[in-house]
Structure 1
Amino acid sequence: MQRSWLSEHVGAWDVVAANQAGIGMMLASAVLLVVDEFTSGWQGAAHWFTIGLTLLLLAFAYLLARWGLRLPSWAFFAIPLTCSLVLTGMSFAKQDAGAPALFASTLPILYGAAILRPRGSYVMLAYNIASDAALTFSLLPAHDAFRSMAYLLIVVGASSILITRGTTATRQLTELLRAQAGVDTLTGLVTRRVLDEAAHGAISAANSPAGTALLLIDVDKFKTINDTYGHPVGDAALKHLAAILAANMRPDAVIGRLGGDELAVLLPGCDYEVALRRANDLVKAVRGSPLQIENGELLHLSVSIGVSHAPTEADDLPQLYASADVSLYQAKRGGRDQVGARSSTLGVRPRTPPLG
């Protein structure tokens, strides 16, 4: 699902963490209201106003606990705004611009700094500073208002900026590590995990009547290449093959390295006959693109490819792999450098070790 502008720029980094923090902030704010009411005395209409706000905060906390994980990330931008409105409303109702009221306003600011994306955090900071300024300058003498706001702006502003920058740096590092974990460092292809996730999505979505095809690709006699030329040449061969695959596949193909010399290509929205032609074209492309090694020698490579298709041969990912594996086994058994026979005509057999 496409992210909205609000989700992308001001929404929460993590809905789960935002929901938990939102519940905590609502409960903490409710406790602050009750403590402030007990310490200042139960006075007139403000007393009932405070009770109403406390119940409202508790209701928000309950709603978040019950349904918060279903909310889009941008909704958590509204949570600290709501909390801030409640706390400011209490202060205006009680005509109180003292330290407790100003300290209470830091809760939404710190929430925004820890949970929201940078723009959302800074908007939250600006909003709360503005509301605190309106409160203090309307209820305090100008000298006292300037003094209170100077302290608040320096301490809370610096805290918000430092937490926001630290949170952003941590999130960016986490996203970088997650991205790196999804890419094979040698070939630049995606890892088995990413390929499997894409395959699960393509099979379950069923968004194309053509179905989904999987090509399993095994480098012929790869062990011999490593033994004869050394592992650096073997690594160069894998990178060379990865480039050939990328050059001969359509943009929406997912190309991955399963491990060792096994590669795979996922073709969503592709029927079996088209996938078979693609596989044969790949065999020819690899055969016609030798790798030039350091001494100028041309190293001729070849691959064996197994082809499977969902839903005609498989209903889930394990069946799709098993079917492609049978086809790959037939390609190896038939002499390598070719595409295997259709597995549905052979019966699915257990995984067999590559023949080399």
Structure 2
Amino acid sequence: MNWARSGLGARNPRAAARTASWILLLSAAAIPVSSIGLPGPATQRTMMIGSPVISIALAGVLTIRRLPEAVRGALLILAPLLGIVSVVTLNIATRDASAGAQVMFCLPALFAATHLRSLGALIVAVFCMFGVALTVAVLRPDGGGVYDWFDVSLVIGLITGILLLGAQRHDRLVAMLKAQASRDPLTGLVTRRVLDEAMHQALMPLVPRQGGDARGTALVLLDLDHFKAINDTYGHPVGDDALVHLAALLRHDAGPDVVVARLGGDEMAVLLTRCTAHTAQEWARTLLARVLSHPLPMSTGADLTLGISVGVGHSDPGPMPLRDLYSAADASLYAAKHAGRGQVGPTRTASLNPPPEAATPTPLLVHKPPPSRP
């Protein structure tokens, strides 16, 4: 079961397991200490009931961090509920229904509100209030403990509410920072980090794809030709407009499984999954033709024809380091630039042991950009 999606799981399982270990350790030490000074029968009852609790707590300290993720996720939800049962049992065994004894119910609520998601924290808070009510009902049936139940329940509710509000603000902040880190603010394309993650999944899949897909993965690298000259001639705002314009053209030709990223400056990349080398080359040629046929309209009323150089790297199915596919696409891009820019370089095949020289290079596709209209 996916505990995180159910709203019950821990926000950070490792941190929750670490906190649970400390709580279990302190609880195991607190049981014999709390029995000091009690009357003889009460001490015996406390230790008789507390000994299994101590054993379970110490076992939890030793094992909770080493358990499989699914088992640990379930245990982190059950731990505060088991803690509530333990507190109820010990309080009834010692016949202590005071507010001081009921404060121990705040410990499971504090853990849940700090480490569990909203639904799990609310469930634990409700069980804590029920545990206090059960203890008071058993030990003080005359109704004298109602005010103690109200006070402790109020504290539990405040702890849960305040910590959940803080956790929600924290989650929104983290989500905003992740979104900012994954999107280029100018073009709206994803960043290099997102592209690398997608490439890693395509080139080094954890689970082999069904059906034995033999098409492979392609990486297309491109940049604007003479981008510095555009900035120097028309100004940096026009240069920014050119990048936004190019990003829009890339997104227009991108399907749902295509990842389009800005690497930095005027460099952009496109990841094509389940794609043959021929399909990648044709996709790059179509992109080049589209860029040349869609000039950038400027505020002066003139159109600025943009030129791009494109490199294509392709990897056959099977594990392949990201660096090798990047190197293949970069070699193709360098060939396009070396031949005069404004063209698609020959497709390079990524290889773990690349040959010193390409065997038979694919002819370059050259497009001469038409002159810009004044």
Q: Fold-level match, TM-score > 0.5?
A: yes
Alpha-carbon spacing, 1:291–1:94, altered in 2? closer, same or farther (3 Å): same
Change (3 A) 1:54 1:313: closer
Equivalent position of 1:112 in the other structure: 112
Structure 1, 186-195 or 45-54: larger mean CA deviation: 45-54
Q: Is the 8 A contact 2:203 2:318 kept in 1?
A: no
Q: What are the Cα deviations for residues 194-236 of structure 1, in whole angstroms up to 9, with x where unaligned?
A: 1112111211015343221111111111111111111101111
Letter of the aligned partner of 1:198 in structure 2? Answer: A
Q: Shift of the alpha carbon at 1:185?
A: 0.7
Which residue does 2:241 correspond to in 1? Answer: 236
User: 256, 267, 282: which one pairs with 2:261?
Assistant: 256
Residue matched to 2:20: 22
C-alpha contact (below 8 Å) 2:4/2:11 kept by paired residues: no
Q: Verify the 8 A CA contact 1:219 1:261 in the aligned structure 2.
A: yes
Counterpart residue type for residue 324 of structure 2: Q
The aligned runs of 1:132-143 (5 Å cut-off) are 132-143=132-143
Matches within 5 A, 1:182-197: 182-197=182-197
1:80 and 1:49 mapped to 2: Cα distance? 18
CA distance in 2, matches of 1:346, 1:220: 29
Deviations 1:52-99 (A, max 9, x none): 111111111211133265646455222211222222222233333233
Structure 1 residue 314: deviation in Å? 8.5
Contact residue 35 and residue 46 of structure 2 kept, 8 A: no
Closer/same/farther in 2, CA of residues 213 and 136 from structure 1, 3 Å limit? same
After superposition, residues 195-206 of structure 1 pair within 5 angstroms as 195-205=195-205
Q: State yes or no: 1:98 paired with 2:103.
A: no
Q: Distance in 2 between matches of 1:197 and 1:348?
A: 30
Per-residue displacement from partner, 1:231-271 (whole Å, max 9, x unpaired)?
Answer: 10111111111111111011111111100000001122222
1:13 aligns with 2:11: yes
Alpha-carbon distance change, 72 to 64 in structure 1, aligned in 2, over 3 angstroms: closer
Q: Would you say the 8 A contact 1:314–1:320 is kept in 2? A: no
Q: Secondary structure at the match of 1:27?
A: helix
Superposed CA RMSD in Å reads 2.3
Contact 2:184–2:262 at 8 Å: present in 1 too? yes
Residue in 2 that maps onto 1:354 = none
1:291 and 2:289 aligned? no
- For 2:310, the equivalent position in structure 1 comes to 305
**Conserved in 1, the CA contact under 8 Å of 2:335 and 2:345?**
yes
SS of aligned partner of 2:154: helix
Unaligned runs of 5+ in 2: 359-374
Helix, strand or coil at the partner of 1:13: coil
Find the counterpart in structure 1 of residue 331 from structure 2: 326
Contact 2:222 2:308 in 1 (8 A): yes
Q: Determine whether 1:275 maps to 2:298.
A: no
Pair 1:172 & 2:172 matched: yes
Deviations 1:286-329 (A, max 9, x none): 11111101111111112111111123798211111111000001
Q: Which residue of 2 aligns with 1:352?
A: none
Is 1:213 matched with 2:218?
yes
Equivalent residue, structure 2, for 1:353: none
Contact 1:313 1:323 in 2 (8 A): no
Distance in 2 of aligned mates of 1:223 and 1:314: 38
In the alignment, structure 1 residue 247 sits paired with structure 2 residue 252: yes
Query: What is the letter of the counterpart of residue 47 of structure 1?
Result: M
TM-score (norm 1): 0.90
Which residue in 1 is equivalent to 2:121? 121
In structure 1, what is the Cα distance between the partners aligned to 2:146 and 2:305?
79
Superposed CA offset, 1:34-58 (max 9, x none): 2212342553344222111111111
Report if the CA contact (8 A) 2:214-2:316 is conserved.
Answer: no
Structure 1: which 5+ runs fail to align? 350-356
Cα distance between partner residues in 2 of 1:146 and 1:174: 42
* TM-score, with structure 2 as normaliser: 0.86
Q: 1:16 to 1:315 in 2, by over 3 A?
A: same
Partners of 1:314 and 1:27 in 2: how far apart?
45
Q: What SS class does the counterpart of residue 38 from structure 1 fall into? A: coil
Give the Cα separation in 2 of the matches to 1:322 and 1:297: 38
Distance 2:290 2:73 in 1: 46
| Residues 55 and 246 of structure 1: CA distance in aligned 2, closer, same or farther (over 3 Å) | same
1:307·1:323 contact (CA, 8 Å) conserved in 2? Answer: yes
Distance 1:59 1:5, change over 3 A: closer
Range with greater deviation from structure 2 (88-97 or 315-324): 88-97
Q: Tell me the amino acid that sits aligned with residue 123 of structure 2.
A: V
- The one-letter code matched in structure 1 to 2:138 is S
Q: Deviations over 1:161-213 (max 9, x none)?
A: 11111122112201211221111111111111111121112110153432211
Q: Displacement, 1:347?
A: 4.5
- Mean CA deviation greater in 239-248 or 5-14: 5-14
CA distance in 2, matches of 1:277, 1:41: 88
Taking the aligned partners of 2:96 and 2:137, their CA distance within structure 1 comes to 11
**Distance in 1, Cα, partners of 2:65 & 2:257:** 39
Give % identity. Answer: 35
2:366 matched to which residue of 1? none
